Amino acid sequence: MKKSSILFYLFLISLYVSAQNESTIPQTKTVNDSTLIKIHALLEDVDFRMHEFDRYKLYPTENMYNFLQLDTKTGKIEVVQWSLDDDKEGSVTLNDEDLSYGTGCGTFELYPTKNIYQFLLLDKVTGRKWHVQWGFESNKRWIKRIY
C-alpha cells in the first residue's frame, strides 16, 4: 500500500473523529471508548494491508505450466507447476534463504530476462540484486548475488 493511501485512511479517521465530536450525541465515556476502538481497528487493518497484503506473488515463466512464487518479504522463491494431472502438480524450493536482513518489508520483486529460465531478483529498498535460474532438475535451480 502506498503512503498516499495511508494518509487517506488517516484523513478519513480524523474526519470520523471530528464528526463524532460535533454531533448532538452527548459525549460520554462510552462514546469516546467506542470511537477509540473503531480507530484502533482501522489502524490495525491499515497495518495488515501494508505488511501482509502483497506478501506472495506469482510470476509466469515462458513455460505455461510453471510459475515462480516469490515471498516479497523474505526473497524466498518456489517453482510451482500446475497440471490437469494431479501427479504432475507440485512445487520445489529454489531459494530457502531469508534475504531480507529482517526488515519485515515486502520489498522483493522478480524481473524476467530474455532467457526463459533466468530472472533477476531485486530488493527495492537496498538495491541488492540476484541472478535466479529455475529449472526442472535440482542442479539447474540456483540463485547467486550480483555485486
User: Measured between alpha carbons, how far is 86 from 67 in angstroms, rounded to an integer?
Assistant: 17
3 vs 42, more confident? 42
Top mean-pLDDT range of 4-8, 17-21, 31-35, 89-93: 89-93
| Interval 71-97 mean pLDDT | 93
Domain map (residue ranges) of the chain:
3-52, 56-146
Is the pLDDT at 52 greater than 80, yes or no? no
Q: Write down the pLDDT at residue 88.
A: 86
User: Measured between alpha carbons, how far is 3 from 147 in angstroms, rounded to an integer?
Assistant: 30
Is the pLDDT at 43 greater than 90, yes or no? no
Using CB atoms within 10 A of its CB, is residue 76 exposed (0-12), middle (13-18) or buried (19+)? buried
Is the pLDDT at 5 greater than 90, yes or no? no
User: Measured between alpha carbons, how far is 21 from 15 in angstroms, rounded to an integer?
Assistant: 10
- Whole-structure pTM value: 0.64
